[in-house]
Each structure stands twice: as structure tokens, then as C-alpha cells.
């Protein structure tokens, strides 16, 4: 009952896909008149709107509905693999006004189940624009619904937590009645207990960044890595990106100066092989983790994970570094979090979310391993936390580890 898609091969450059050039880039989307549709939540709430993006396969698109509060960066959000299994609600009312372009893609495709917006811009205006957002969604084979009261929808999610939902056409060929949409929403399992990493990880290793031998070598686990993260790592290292299932022995055989654990979607406890591999790496090589990588590293050292009511999805979350008291505005995208009290005597919590007290970072005692829940690469969002990449660079560069 979901809107499935066939991602491109893992070795394709995400920045060269899903774009057009020339006259088409400067015009509004010119598809047929919009089709009326409806969004139904598992609690029975109904929202009327108009369908956008790709036609919905098998009539219904369903997934776990979450909201993102970023004011810009919709393309980076849509192409973030961490949204696999979810339908993204944009709380900012006007989406698509600056178009899309190949440079801002964060992955080889779109892994979300759909997008929800209040108002899709009819025309875009930006010197970097190449494709209207509606055309971009079609090239991603991603469906959406516009004209939704996103303020009401967000209030429901905030009150009740992330909730399964389904949307589809309510007129024309393949129209769905509300009973069918309600049934699809009720049947949607959400993201708890489902391995979503396998759907987004690369199938074969590949290299980015500096040429081999031109800088320290880093092995990056791809749990759903964003292109912008690899860009930052590639500024100071030769990065080999490996599948999520890669055993620790295979990583250590590459003799890396450091290991990076990427962001990714879903429930971290559904990838036990990755947790085991990370546990075998701790203490043997410097490690830096972001988002899902932070959660997996924490599980590997014996900590526990909890699911947040509606998660953190946005570009304006205040995070405090506990040791210095410094507050940074951060970009976030996660539904699960590390239980701070479970770190025990093995690790120290280093960062805290000032909105709700959630653990935003930790450092393993007696090992060169640290991680953060937020996204220091931003894309989109503020760049307050970029220094964390510099910390990892110092950690893996000979003669500078003591400064980390």
C-alpha cells in the first residue's frame, strides 16, 4: 500500500541526477491540472488537498507522518535518506519558491514516502534553480499533497506523537474513498522495529574526498549518509564508504586512521550486526558518529535507546556543550535518542538539547570515540557545529591527537 520506488545504483553521483537544464528550468511546472486528494491519519483525522509530484503507485502513499520546522532547505530534507519510511510535513507554508538544483542533492534519490505542504509555489525564482520542485518530485518518483492545513496537522503530531498516515486521489481514475485511506493508515507499521538502513545503504564500497595517500584514510559506514557529510570528511581525508553490514575485521584490515558512523533512518536496534561491528571497533581506532551513528555507537557500548514522541526535525534546535556552556543552533533529524542515564560509567554525555533535555552527544571513556545526535554539516541549517569535523580531523592526524 506504500508508494514504492526504485533507487538508482549506489555509485551514481547524487548531484548529477534528477535535473533538467535549459528553458524548462525557468518555467513553472506545466503538468495537468491538479487532482483532488486527501490525507488520513491513523487516528481518523482527515485533511483535503491536491496531489503533487509523481503519480501514486497502487493508489495510496503511506508512512509515518513527521514534521520539519526548517524555513528553507526543502531539497536537502527531501533527499536525506534518514526520512526513509516517513512522510515529511513542512511547517513553513511556502515550499518550492527557489526551485531545485543538482548541487543540493543529499543522496542518490528520495527515500521518504511522501511530502506534505501548505502551498506549493507555482513558479520558482533563484539563479541556482534548475528544476521546479514538482518536476523534481516526479524525477524522484515521490508523491506529495499540497493545500493541507499543516498547522493543524503539526499540532496533532505534537500532541499525539508521530503517527501513521496515508494519502491518495479522491477524484478521477484510481480515486480512493476515505474508508480505503483510513484502512491504509491503520495498516502502516511506522518505523519501530523495521530495518530501514538496508534500503538506503550502498551495496558496494566507493571512495570520495582526497586521493589515497594524500591525507589520512577514513572508513565511513553508510547507514544513509548525506553527501554534505562526505564533503566535509573529504576535505581532510581519503574516505572509503562501505555498506552498513561491513564487519569490523574488514574495516580494520583497511588500516584506517579513523572510522565514521553516518546518519540514517529508523530504529537503531534493527541493525544488530552493525552494533556488533562498532563494538569491536571501539578502542581499536578513532571513531566519530553522527545521528544514527551516535545511537549505534551508544548501543555498542551498552547504553539504551528510546523513541521520542515526535522527534527532532528542523534547523533551529539549541544544543549546549556541557563542558563549556556554549550553546549552538543545530540541524536535527531523528525520532530515536540515547537515554542519558544509560551511559553509566562507560561514557560521558557531552551535549544536551535545551528544548527537552535529550542527550545530544557523548564521549566514550578510555577510547577515542565520540558522537553527536545533531548534524554539524547542516545542509540545511546553521554551521555552528562544524568544528566537530575539525576535532575528528585532529584526532586522526598524526601528531595532533592530543589536541582533540
Residue with cell 533507487: 7
Among residues 132, 240, 291, 294, the one annotated as catalytic is: 291
Q: Would you say 220 and 274 are in contact if contact means Cβ atoms under 8 Å apart?
A: no
The string of DSSP codes covering 368-385 is SEEEESSBTT-SSS--TT
* The dihedral formed by the CA atoms of 131, 132, 136 and 142, expressed in degrees to the nearest 10: 180
| ∠ Cα 177 183 189 (to 5°) | 140
Buried b (16+ CB within 10 A) or exposed e, 64-103: bbbbbbbeebbbbbbbbbbbbbbbbbbbbeebbbbbbbbe
Query: Does the annotation mark 375 as catalytic?
Result: yes
Buried b (16+ CB within 10 A) or exposed e, 253-292: eeebbbbbbbbbbbbbbbbeebbebbbebbeebbbbbbbb
- With 0-12 / 13-18 / 19 or more C-beta atoms within 10 angstroms meaning exposed / middle / buried, residue 387 is exposed
Residue with cell 480505503: 180
359-364 β-sheet, strand order: 206-209, 238-243, 217-222, 258-261, 287-290, 369-372, 359-364, 347-353, 305-321, 327-338
Query: Does the annotation mark 359 as catalytic?
Result: no
| 148, three cell numbers | 493541507
Among residues 64, 328, 360, 377, the one annotated as catalytic is: 377
Q: Would you say 332 and 67 are in contact if contact means Cβ atoms under 8 Å apart?
A: no
Say how far apart CA 279 and CA 302 lie, in whole Å. 9
Question: Which active-site residues does the annotation give?
Answer: 291, 375, 377
Amino acid at each position: 500500500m506504500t508508494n514504492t520506488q526504485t533507487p538508482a545504483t549506489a555509485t551514481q553521483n547524487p548531484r548529477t541526477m534528477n535535473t533538467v537544464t535549459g528553458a524548462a528550468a525557468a518555467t513553472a511546472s506545466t503538468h495537468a491540472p491538479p487532482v483532488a486528494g486527501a490525507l488520513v491519519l491513523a487516528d481518523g483525522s482527515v485533511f483535503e488537498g491536491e496531489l503533487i509530484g509523481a503519480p501514486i503507485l497502487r493508489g495510496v502513499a503511506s508512512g509515518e507522518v513527521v514534521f520539519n520546522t526548517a524555513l528553507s532547505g526543502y531539497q536537502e530534507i527531501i533527499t536525506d535518506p534518514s526520512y526513509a519510511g516517513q512522510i515529511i510535513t513542512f511547517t513553513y507554508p511556502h515550499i518550492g519558491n527557489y526551485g531545485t538544483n543538482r548541487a543540493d542533492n543529499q543522496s542518490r534519490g528520495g527515500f521518504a514516502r511522501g511530502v506534505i505542504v501548505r502551498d506549493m509555489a507555482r513558479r520558482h525564482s533563484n539563479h541556482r534553480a534548475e528544476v521546479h520542485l514538482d518536476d523534481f518530485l516526479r524525477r524522484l518518483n515521490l508523491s506529495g499533497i499540497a493545500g493541507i492545513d499543516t498547522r493543524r496537522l503539526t499540532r496533532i503530531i505534537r500532541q499525539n506523537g508521530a503517527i501513521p498516515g496515508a494519502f491518495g486521489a479522491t477524484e478521477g481514475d484510481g480515486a480512493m474513498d476515505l474508508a480505503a485511506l483510513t484502512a491504509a493508515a491503520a495498516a502502516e507499521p511506522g518505523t519501530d522495529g523495521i530495518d530501514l538502513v538496508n534500503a538506503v545503504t550502498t551495496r558496494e564500497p566507493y571512495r570520495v574526498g582526497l586521493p589515497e595517500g594524500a591525507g589520512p584514510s577514513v572508513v565511513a559506514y553508510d547507514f544513509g549518509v548525506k553527501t554534505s557529510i562526505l564533503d566535509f570528511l573529504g576535505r581532510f581525508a581519503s574516505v572509503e564508504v562501505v555498506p552498513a553490514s561491513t564487519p569490523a575485521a574488514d574495516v580494520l584490515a583497511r588500516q584506517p586512521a579513523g572510522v565514521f558512523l553516518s546518519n540514517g533512518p529508523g530504529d537503531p536496534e534493527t541493525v544488530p550486526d552493525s552494533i556488533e561491528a562498532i563494538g569491536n571497533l571501539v578502542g581499536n581506532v578513532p571513531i566519530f558518529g553522527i545521528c544514527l551513528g551516535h545511537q549505534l555507537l551508544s548501543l555498542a557500548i551498552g547504553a539504551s535507546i528510546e523513541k521520542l514522541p515526535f522527534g527532532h526535525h528542523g534547523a533551529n534546535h539549541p544544543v549546549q556543550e556541557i563542558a563549556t556552556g556554549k550553546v549552538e543552533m543545530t540541524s536535527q533529524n531523528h525520532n530515536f535518542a540515547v537515554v542519558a542515564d544509560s551511559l553509566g560509567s562507560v561514557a560521558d554525555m557531552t551535549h544536551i538539547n535545551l528544548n527537552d533535555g535529550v542527550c545530544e552527544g557523548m564521549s566514550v571513556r578510555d577510547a577515542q570515540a565520540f558522537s553527536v545526535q545533531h548534524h554539524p554539516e547542516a545542509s540545511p541549517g546553521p554551521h555552528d557545529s562544524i568544528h566537530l569535523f575539525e576535532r575528528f580531523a585532529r584526532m586522526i592526524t598524526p601528531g595532533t591527537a592530543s589536541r582533540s
